[in-house]
Amino acid sequence: MYGLGIIRGMGITLKHFVDTYVDDLRFLGKRYYDESSLKVRQGPKAAGAFTVQYPEEKLAMPERFRFVPFLLFEENEDGTTQDRCTSCGICSKVCPPQCIWIERTKDPVTKRPVPEPKDFHIDIDICMNCGYCAEFCPFDAIKMDHDYELSSYDRTSAHVFNKERLSKPVSYYASIRPNFFLAEEKVRAEENKKKAKQAEAKAKAKGGGKAKAAAPAPAAAAPAAVAEAPAPAAAPAASAADLDAAAKKKALAEKRKAMIAARKAKKGK
Amino acid sequence: MTDELKNPNIPVPAELEGTVTITTLDKLYNWSRRSSIFPMIFGLACCAIEMICAASSRFDLARFGMEVFRATPRQSDLMIVSGTVTKKMVPQIVRLYNQMPEPKYVMAMGACASGGGPFKEGYNVVSGIDKFIPVDVYVPGCPPTPQALIFGLIKLQEKIDQQSIKSVPWYNSDAIEAIPIPILGPDLIDPRQGSQIAREMAVATEAEA
Amino acid sequence: MAAPATPNTETEVLSLEEKFAGIASPDTREGYEGYIIAADKAEEVVKYIRDDLGYDYLSSVTGVDYLEDDHMEVVYHAFKTEGGPALNFKIQTDRENPRVPSITHLYPAAEFQEREAYDMYGILFDGHPDLRRILMWDDFEGWPMRKDWKEAYYEAETKPFKNRWPGGDVYRIEANNPFNKNVVYPEGFNLNGYNPLGDKTLYDMLNQYDRGGSNLKTDQIVVNIGPQHPSTHGVFRMVVRLDGENVNALKPVFGYLHRNHEKIGERNTWLMNMPYTDRLDYLTSMCNNHAYALTVEKMMGLEVPERADYIRVLMNELTRIASHLWATGFLLNDLGAFQTPMLYLIKNRELILDFFEATSGTRMMCNYSRFGGVAYDLPDTLRDENTMDWLHEMIHERLPRGLEELERFLSNNEIVRTRAIGLSPVTAQEAIALGMSGPMLRAAGVPYDVRRAEPYGIYDRFDFDIPVGTTGDVYDRYLVRVNEIRESIKILKQCLRDMPAKGDIMSVKPGYTHKVPAGEAYGRGENPKGELGFYCVSKGKGHPYRYHIRAPSFINLTGLEKLCVGTKIADVVVVLGSIDIVLGEVDR
Ligand code: SF4
Ligand code: SF4
Ligand code: SF4
């Protein structure tokens, strides 16, 4: 019969319409704004409308969810904090759109690099949330965040995240990715043990308990072993930035000139 | 609805409590505008897919009165620039923007529309639509998840809430000028920069000499 | 995967050498294969390759700029539709005045690809019917893919850029540019009196055809559909010339989403390209990752652990289902069944995306494959449910139920049938000649599927059918997609049954630098849209020297004009919907 297909199709629309109400009965009116029913509603067994009533209820992010990276810092018992990042630069090397800028700290006396970033910038207007930085950071110092509510009215000031904006405590990481955190801590603990053992062996080889006293490193943080040097706070960075501004401008002007010249050279050929 | 509109600063006589609602014109004006934003169907790239997902049944923009995506700029209030803005596309975007009636809002969705995104270095990519048209809300992410987009839309609603009918530019007597449309020449050309181009060129020739 | 030549091809290939001694010589460079053909005799040789050797399907055409060797090369990959490996041949030309004969009249599939090579490299194709810029606009200056062409935001030849670390001083790159925009003005440019060509050549081309029309004296009008149009599936533009309501000429215009994948890709390291492939066909990022990983694995000679291979298949087929659901939903949207079917179909897609999100971390841009395996193992739980249970429920219950509903809902709907049956049919020969692939090709009755024709990964282990159509009309394309969902479910069931419960997911230690031996490779996978190919050239460094993408939706559009001429204007959007394009891939 002509039109039968259409009628059948309408039957399906009707079914979709009724499904929600039937489902409502199943949840006894607790269909919305309820953690446990949200999970069922969002699963493969769901029936009827499966709308998430965002902002009131939020779809839980899976542990691996990634959105804009953040930096981890350890909170020591005495209230000080310790960046995990050693400014080794690997994340800025693997970043596909090259949106990580890291400034390494130099020891003011010895002029040797100190394993802690002076500043750390990520331009989130470039970041493609690929997760490579977190994947390849050897110190578990940069991780992908779960916080996606980042909208702003002004990007020039708000969208280049500096170290302060990026840093979050390890405990936050542990709360968003508990399984990853536990697994990583296990590995770190083992590594630390190994290192301690090696150091001990070395010390023994050198002979005497004299060197032994220097060996024991803080148990939790691996990079801390190297980070004995005084760690300058992030504060002086600001004044330095002011000083830099003029130099930067000059460099830019030169760059621009060079570019024009290069283009000309190309043209001339 | 009434809760949102009630103005607590205006005392209501006790005998009228519950029978009348007093509000300000601004509140009413903004409430009605923000609860029926018509976005334009304007998908540029990957982010557009998430925009469609946000409009479809799971995230359902209809809850905010935004489900009516209009195909023509002349009927829409909001342009969601959802994706990479290429130089080839910029003239069209500016033209569409000019065709939208006031009040109009622009949202830059995703890293690309905000600041160039992962393709920023490309020769056909514009680093952010705000170089050409004013943007009200930026939603970072690549792509922003539908929830992140909705968060941005809520921010936009908040922005609308703060406007006052007395000061909004579209009731001013001065006409709002259209943005000149960029030209696709040897590269993208912004007509607003005509004099600057000439100056640069002069500097370049001087440097050569 | 490494494609050992079957004895059959070997004898034939030998005969190519014999027949054209001195004209077609084997490519002897380290890591290269195929033949180099003398430009002046190319036509004869290509004709022989097509007619006598039986390589009837031209898959990819692209240019390569060998700056150090001071020559350019056009690389062709042709296949047989019965299956088997590629025949790869090249024509070389100098850089100063690059000219190569066009093979469009032999292989119509080459039309847009030759135009692209012209646009990117400035290679002139003699005898091409319509040699205009394709991705950039006509007035644009320069040949962007040439190795010595530098864009406004040029920083360094290769990544990583030196100024990011250790002295990382954050800046926005547009500050490099005098105008704060990434724009370069040529020397002596004067805006006053500047008069760009605009679309002149396009309209000239459009008006050059005269296909008659009705006997009535009518004016023909030109209508622009797009780039901002609700049914062009993105920023795609078609210029149609109408005679009444009938389309009598049509030209697609590309490039509104040209994001310079290839230029950026040649600056990236091998691994950095992986997340960029996500953004090609952004509905099928898992498949894109897989195809790219296959290509590089082929060059590096890497094996993939069994579990990783199964996971890849699992992801591919789920992606295929998600993509076909999306395509079908939007086809119906274009047919006038506005929104409702689409919303129903997106529901199941959302659930699949949940799985991707739990496994790889994002819904769309999965960045999941690595060279030698996959990035992560499957998660233990998904929304507090055991993942395997979730998958089981999904694959054995939910998706089949959704498919059945889809069929009941639409396949016999009289309106859909009236609109779609008989609309823009295409024959098998035409489809092959036009280089169509994927559901487009199969709907025309050619049972060609890369998973069968040249099995990659572990696809040879699965039992599945290749759905084909008969007439190649819009309805057939719809049916082929629906049936492919069914076959994918079949593969998924087998995959779930056979997948080893535990095992390695990487055959090598994960790392971010990769030494890829010098040479070339063409790797391909069967994407939901068709054959996705990557042509990579390595010089033994950490980044590709040439990185070309053979994008299925782009090449499927070669036939758009042929499909649309003679139909009504209202049907053009339906035909376009049935091709199922994704602009990220069309324009790259
Ligand atoms: S975040 Fe990790 S990879 Fe990046 S510099 Fe710090 S320690 Fe190195
Ligand atoms: S997520 Fe990817 S793009 Fe973003 S900062 Fe990390 S490596 Fe760079
Ligand atoms: S921000 Fe990311 S997802 Fe959005 S358009 Fe750009 S590349 Fe695509």
- Complex confidence, ipTM: 0.86
**Same-domain check for residues C229 and C270:** no
Task: Please report the number of interchain residue pairs, chain A to chain B, with beta-carbon separation below 8 angstroms.
Answer: 107
**Same-domain check for residues C214 and C287:** no
Average pLDDT for C56-62: 90
> What does the DSSP assignment read for B85-153?
-BTTTHHHHHHHHHHSPSS-EEEEEHHHHHH-GGGTTSTTB-S-GGGTS--SEEE-SSSPPHHHHHHHH
Cβ separation C196–B184 shorter than 8 A: yes
Phi and psi, residue C480, nearest 5°: -60, -40
- For ligand 1, whether the C-beta of A167 sits within 6 Å is no
- Beta strands (DSSP E) in chain A are 67-75, 81-83, 100-106, 113-123, 142-145, 160-161, 167-169
Nearest-atom number in ligand 3 for the CA of C364 is: 3
- Which residues make Cβ contacts (< 8 Å) with residue C501, sequence separation at least 6? none
Structure tokens at A242: 């002011």
Distance from CA of B18 to the nearest CA of C (A): 41
Within 10 angstroms of residue C361's Cβ, the number of other Cβ atoms is 26
Residue of B57, B140, B154 lying closest to A50 (CB–CB): B57
**Same-domain check for residues C160 and C241:** no
Residue A211: pLDDT band by 50, 70, 90 thresholds?
very low
Ligand 2: distance of its center to the CA of A168 in Å?
17
> What does the DSSP assignment read for C74-142?
EEEEEE-TT----EEEEEEEESSS-EEE--TTT-TTHHHHHHHHHHHH--EEET-TT---SSS-TT--S
Q: Is the residue at C10 inside a domain? A: no
Ligand 1: distance of its center to the CA of A229 in Å?
18
Answer yes or no: are the C-beta atoms of A116 and A87 closer than 8 Å.
yes
Q: Is the residue at C141 inside a domain? A: no
Q: Is the residue at C192 inside a domain? A: no
pLDDT of residue A27 exceeding 90, the answer is no
**C148: which chain B residues are within 8 Å (Cβ-Cβ)?**
none
Which range of A29-38, A183-192, C334-343 scores highest in mean pLDDT? It is A183-192
pLDDT of residue C245 exceeding 50, the answer is yes
| Nearest-angstrom CA–CA distance, A220 and A139 | 12
**Same-domain check for residues C451 and C559:** yes
- For ligand 3, whether the C-beta of B146 sits within 6 Å is no
Cβ separation A93–C512 shorter than 8 A: yes
Percent of chain A with pLDDT over 90: 0
Instruction: Give residue C325's pLDDT.
Output: 92
For residue C94, the domain's CATH number is 3.30.460.80
Answer yes or no: are the C-beta atoms of B186 and C137 closer than 8 Å.
no
Q: Could you identify the residue written with the tokens 């090609």?
A: C280
Q: Is the residue at C552 inside a domain? A: yes
**Same-domain check for residues C221 and C289:** no
pLDDT of residue C10 exceeding 70, the answer is no
Cβ separation B58–A54 shorter than 8 A: no
| Nearest-angstrom CA–CA distance, B99 and B85 | 18
pLDDT of residue A215 exceeding 50, the answer is no
Region of C563 please: left (phi>0), alpha (psi -120 to 50) or beta. alpha
Instruction: Give residue C319's pLDDT.
Output: 92
pLDDT of residue C377 exceeding 80, the answer is yes
Average pLDDT for C450-471: 88
**Same-domain check for residues C505 and C557:** yes
Instruction: Please provide the average confidence, as pLDDT, over all residues in chain A.
Output: 76
**Same-domain check for residues C366 and C230:** no
Residue nearest to atom 7 of ligand 2 (CA): A95
Q: Is the residue at C145 inside a domain? A: no
**Same-domain check for residues C271 and C414:** yes
Nearest chain A residue to C375, by CA:
A135
Structure confidence by residue, pLDDT tens digits, C285-340: 999 999 999 999 988 888 889 899 999 999 999 999 999 999 998 888 888 777 88
Give the range of the structural domain holding residue C221, as residue numbers without chain letter. 197-253
Q: Is the residue at C461 inside a domain? A: yes
Cβ separation C187–A66 shorter than 8 A: no
Average pLDDT for B149-160: 90
Instruction: Give residue C480's pLDDT.
Output: 92
**Torsion (CA) C315, C321, C322, C326 in degrees, nearest 10:** 160
Average pLDDT for C115-124: 90
| Nearest-angstrom CA–CA distance, C227 and C237 | 4
**A152: which chain B residues are within 8 Å (Cβ-Cβ)?**
137-138, 140, 155
**Same-domain check for residues C327 and C226:** no
Q: Is the residue at C116 inside a domain? A: yes
Residue nearest to atom 5 of ligand 3 (CA): B83
Structure confidence by residue, pLDDT tens digits, C406-421: 888 888 888 888 888 8
Nearest-atom number in ligand 3 for the CA of B110 is: 1
Instruction: Please provide the average confidence, as pLDDT, over all residues in chain C.
Output: 85
pLDDT of residue C108 exceeding 80, the answer is yes
Kindly state whether C144 is in contact with chain B, defined as any CB-CB distance less than 8 angstroms: yes
How far are the Cα atoms of A172, C136, C284, C380, C528 from residue C281, in angstroms, in the given order?
35, 20, 6, 29, 10
Please list the residues that pair with C509 across neighbouring strands.
none
Helix (H, G, I), strand (E, B) or coil at C588: coil
* Residue to test with chain C: of B41, B88, B109, B130, most C Cβ within 10 A: B88
Residue A119: pLDDT band by 50, 70, 90 thresholds?
confident
Instruction: Give residue A258's pLDDT.
Output: 61
Instruction: Give residue B3's pLDDT.
Output: 61
Answer yes or no: are the C-beta atoms of C492 and C318 closer than 8 Å.
yes
Ligand 1: distance of its center to the CA of A150 in Å?
23
Residue that finishes a domain, picked among C253, C280, C300: C253
**Same-domain check for residues C115 and C206:** no
Structure confidence by residue, pLDDT tens digits, C169-186: 777 777 766 665 556 666
Q: What angle do CA C230, C235, C240 make, to 5 degrees?
A: 75
- The pTM of the full predicted model, rounded to 2 decimals, is 0.86
Distance from CA of A70 to the nearest CA of C (A): 15
Region of C347 please: left (phi>0), alpha (psi -120 to 50) or beta. alpha
Structure confidence by residue, pLDDT tens digits, C190-234: 776 777 777 777 887 777 766 555 566 667 888 888 788 877 778
**Same-domain check for residues C270 and C240:** no
Q: Is the residue at C189 inside a domain? A: no
| Nearest-angstrom CA–CA distance, C532 and C288 | 7
How far are the Cα atoms of A171, C273, C292 from residue C278, in angstroms, in the given order?
32, 9, 10
Nearest-atom number in ligand 1 for the CA of A89 is: 5
| Nearest-angstrom CA–CA distance, A262 and A266 | 6
Task: Identify residue A265 by its one-letter amino acid code.
Answer: A
Kindly state whether A254 is in contact with chain B, defined as any CB-CB distance less than 8 angstroms: no
Answer yes or no: are the C-beta atoms of C100 and C124 closer than 8 Å.
yes
**B137: which chain A residues are within 8 Å (Cβ-Cβ)?**
151-153
**Same-domain check for residues C98 and C165:** no
Q: Could you identify the residue written with the tokens 């049509």?
A: C250
Cβ separation B125–C196 shorter than 8 A: no
Structural domains in chain C (count): 4
| Nearest-angstrom CA–CA distance, C216 and A135 | 68
Which chain C residues in 147-176 lie under 8 Å from chain B, judged by CB atoms?
151-155, 172-174
